[in-house]
């Protein structure tokens, strides 16, 4: 067992978007596999035909690809254990259910949904602590434990719908080791005879999962904590199938919780709180519901990975910024924390800002250029590069650039009157008109020269720059804050500065005179 090649799998159901918690599970699997030189497998768990959503599988593939954590084996990459969709493996599960039937660890059950409902309501009414289909109650239900062999055969031959249930011992302790949580003990009296094989001929998660992990030679099962309660069942399945020797090791990850209130993070929280909980935009083809994604919001995949990884894991040092390569090198399941983590959207933005700042101005300009063009502006790459260098500090996303930089592309159509009014004094109009003239008469349009010319002018009339700088800014950009005004004017050029000045001064004249 210990010398087996490490093989892990990410096994989502194609029921909609990939939730951000699922992305983290995929990431941890990926990191673990690469750290140990093993294989990372994507298996699509689509045994529930009712929940199948077209496009969901492609979405998962695209998301993993965007993040750069591609599997080595998958439905589209193929691999030695294909197929990797459970619906296409349907025929394989039957034999294992039969094996369990043979060895007495499973039985046929013919109960209708109404009968099951009945059983549960009766037990609840009788104040039974946990109503379940188990070693006690199965004796009063319609199954191959209570029915005669002939009766069972007759029903099967007649094509009566049935399921195959696991036959759990009445009282037995199941213990297994979880890499993150240590030893877990559960009594079979608290578990029930789970359905392994559904009446539609499909296995349930439990059977399919164990069979596939065995067949695909999975060595470590790294999955969300929501699976912890059924892990003992899986352990028993390995035992009854005779595979205990090669049973994978388990690692149940803590959940990602809502930033406010209680409960695990859900798709709805994203819309409610205004941040994405999915990697990519998604529109449900059935309901038409849309979910926004990190990619479209403007996040870098590296930032998402970095942020997600730190939610529930840490390297034991103070390092926070990690490349994928560094994560692979440093990751270990032992350092995954046990408690659920509340999602911190502010920190996610901070991470993106850090990654944004790591890009060079020319890289950022290339990223920003399509948005510039989409807004209908035609500027050189050189111009855009300078713009980007002036606004990048105050943006978390390239998508935010335009909001800070619009005035570099077109003259303001309005001016921040509230702020202007506060700063405005009777003499302001004259001071600014003089400033305009000074700048119009300057030929050297470097930021340094403009600063020198401006200061010389203001000094000559005995005015401190602080008294009029903000008004100046608003006249040129429309906004009360932004990059250095001398840099702004240098980039805009004499003609544009003069034009903006004149137009704005007309406005202030009529507005404040």
Partner RNA sequence: GGCCCGUUCAUCUAGGGGUUAGGAUACAAGAUUUUCAUUCUUGGUACAGGGGUUCGAUUCCCCUACGGGCUACCA
Q: Which residues are catalytic?
A: 267
Q: Is residue 116 near RNA by the rule CB under 7 A?
A: yes
Identify which of residues 37 and 391 has a Cβ nearer to RNA in the complex.
391
Residues 121-160, interacting with RNA (CB under 7 A): 129-133
Q: Is residue 227 near RNA by the rule CB under 7 A?
A: yes
What token pair was written down for 434? Answer: 């003089």
Alpha carbon of 95 to those of 102, 207, 237: distances in Å? 10, 11, 14
Provide the CB-side half-sphere exposure for 439 (13 A, CA).
33
* Distance in Å, CB of 513 to RNA, minimum: 25
What three-state secondary structure class fits 354?
helix
* Distance in Å, CB of 376 to RNA, minimum: 25
Alpha carbon of 182 to those of 24, 219, 324, 364: distances in Å? 21, 17, 28, 47
* Distance in Å, CB of 479 to RNA, minimum: 8
CA 393 from chain centre, in angstroms, equals 25
| CA–CA dist 300, 351 (Å, integer) | 9
Identify which of residues 199 and 362 has a Cβ nearer to RNA in the complex.
199
Identify which of residues 30 and 250 has a Cβ nearer to RNA in the complex.
250
Identify which of residues 329 and 393 has a Cβ nearer to RNA in the complex.
393
| Site map (CB under 7 A) of RNA, residues 416-455, x = contact | ----------------------------------------
Identify which of residues 4 and 166 has a Cβ nearer to RNA in the complex.
166
Identify which of residues 238 and 313 has a Cβ nearer to RNA in the complex.
313
| CA–CA dist 20, 308 (Å, integer) | 8
First-to-last alpha carbon distance for the chain, in angstroms, is 87
Q: Is residue 163 near RNA by the rule CB under 7 A?
A: yes
* Distance in Å, CB of 450 to RNA, minimum: 12
What three-state secondary structure class fits 193?
coil
Among 87, 314, 366, 389, binds RNA (CB under 7 A): 314
Q: Is residue 473 near RNA by the rule CB under 7 A?
A: yes
* Distance in Å, CB of 423 to RNA, minimum: 11
| Site map (CB under 7 A) of RNA, residues 171-210, x = contact | ----------xx-xxxx--x-x--x--xxx-x-xx-----
User: Judged by CB under 7 A, how many residues of this single chain contact RNA?
Assistant: 80
Q: What is the DSSP string of 279-346?
A: SS-EE-TTT--EE-BHHHHT--HHHHHHHHHTSSB--SSS-----HHHHHHH--GGGB-SS-EE--HH
| CA–CA dist 143, 152 (Å, integer) | 8
Residues 332-371, interacting with RNA (CB under 7 A): 335, 337-342, 344, 346-347, 350
Helix (H) or strand (E) holding 106: strand 106-109
Among 139, 373, 460, 484, binds RNA (CB under 7 A): 484
* Distance in Å, CB of 378 to RNA, minimum: 26
Q: Which stretch binds RNA (CB under 7 A): 27-35, 267-275, 314-322, 369-377?
A: 314-322
Q: Which stretch binds RNA (CB under 7 A): 134-142, 304-312, 422-430, 497-505?
A: 304-312
Q: Which stretch binds RNA (CB under 7 A): 68-76, 268-276, 310-318, 494-502?
A: 310-318
Give the count of beta carbons closer than 10 Å to the beta carbon of residue 54.
10
Q: Which stretch binds RNA (CB under 7 A): 105-113, 271-279, 372-380, 440-448?
A: 105-113
| CA–CA dist 20, 186 (Å, integer) | 30
What token pair was written down for 34? Answer: 């690469």
* Distance in Å, CB of 510 to RNA, minimum: 25
| CA–CA dist 152, 157 (Å, integer) | 9
Among 45, 73, 269, 302, binds RNA (CB under 7 A): 45
Among 254, 270, 276, 301, binds RNA (CB under 7 A): 254
Answer whether 25's CB lies under 8 Å from 264's CB: no
Q: Where are the alpha helices (DSSP H) in 126-202?
A: 149-157
What token pair was written down for 179? Answer: 């890499």
Identify which of residues 183 and 513 has a Cβ nearer to RNA in the complex.
183
How many secondary structure helices (H) and strands (E) does the chain include?
Answer: 21, 13
* Distance in Å, CB of 16 to RNA, minimum: 11
Q: Which stretch binds RNA (CB under 7 A): 26-34, 225-233, 275-283, 502-510?
A: 225-233
């Amino acid at each position: 067992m210990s010398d087996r090649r490490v093989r892990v799998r990410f096994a989502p159901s194609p029921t909609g978007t990939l939730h951000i918690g699922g992305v983290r599970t995929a990431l941890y699997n990926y990191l673990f596999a690469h750290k140990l030189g093993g294989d990372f497998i994507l298996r699509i768990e689509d045994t529930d035909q009712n929940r199948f959503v077209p496009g969901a599988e492609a979405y998962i593939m695209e998301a993993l690809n965007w993040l750069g954590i591609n599997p080595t084996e998958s439905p589209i990459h193929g691999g030695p254990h294909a197929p990797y969709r459970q619906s296409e493996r349907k025929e394989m599960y039957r034999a294992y259910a039969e094996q369990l039937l043979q060895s007495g660890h499973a039985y046929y059950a013919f109960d209708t949904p109404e009968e099951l409902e009945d059983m549960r309501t009766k037990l609840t009414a009788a104040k039974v602590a946990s109503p379940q289909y188990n070693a006690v109650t199965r004796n009063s239900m319609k199954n191959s434990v209570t029915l005669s062999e002939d009766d069972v055969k007759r029903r099967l031959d007649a094509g009566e719908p049935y399921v195959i249930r696991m036959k759990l011992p009445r009282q037995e302790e199941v213990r297994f080791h979880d890499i993150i949580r240590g030893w877990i003990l559960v009594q079979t009296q608290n578990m029930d005879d789970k359905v392994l094989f559904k009446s539609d001929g499909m296995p349930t998660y439990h059977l399919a999962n164990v069979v596939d992990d065995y067949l695909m030679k999975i060595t470590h099962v790294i999955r969300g904590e929501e699976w912890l309660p059924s892990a003992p069942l899986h352990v028993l399945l390995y035992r009854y199938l005779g595979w205990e020797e090669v049973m994978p090791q388990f690692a149940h990850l803590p959940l990602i919780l809502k930033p406010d209130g209680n409960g695990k993070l859900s798709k709805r929280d994203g819309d409610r709180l205004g941040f994405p909980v999915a990697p990519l935009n998604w529109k449900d083809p059935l309901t038409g519901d849309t979910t926004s994604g990190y990619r479209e919001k403007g996040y870098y995949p590296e930032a998402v990975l970095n942020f997600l990884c730190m939610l529930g894991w840490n390297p034991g040092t103070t390092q926070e910024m990690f490349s994928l390569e560094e994560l692979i090198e440093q990751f270990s399941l032992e350092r995954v924390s046990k408690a659920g983590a509340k999602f911190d959207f502010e920190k996610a933005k901070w991470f993106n800002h850090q990654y944004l700042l790591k890009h060079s101005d020319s890289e950022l300009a290339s990223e920003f250029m399509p948005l510039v063009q989409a807004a209908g502006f035609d500027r050189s790459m050189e111009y855009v590069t300078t713009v980007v260098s002036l606004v990048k500090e105050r943006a978390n996303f390239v998508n935010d650039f335009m909001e800070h930089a619009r005035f570099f592309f077109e003259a303001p159509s309005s001016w921040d009157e509230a702020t202007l009014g506060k700063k405005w004094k009777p003499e302001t109009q004259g001071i600014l008109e003089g400033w305009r003239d000074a700048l119009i008469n300057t030929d050297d349009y470097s930021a340094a020269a403009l600063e020198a010319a401006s200061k010389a002018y203001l000094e000559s009339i005995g005015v401190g720059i602080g008294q009029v700088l903000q008004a100046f800014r608003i006249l040129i950009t429309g906004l009360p804050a932004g990059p250095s005004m001398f840099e702004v004017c240098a980039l805009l050029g004499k003609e544009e500065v003069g034009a903006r000045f004149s137009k704005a001064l007309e406005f202030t004249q009529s507005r404040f005179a």
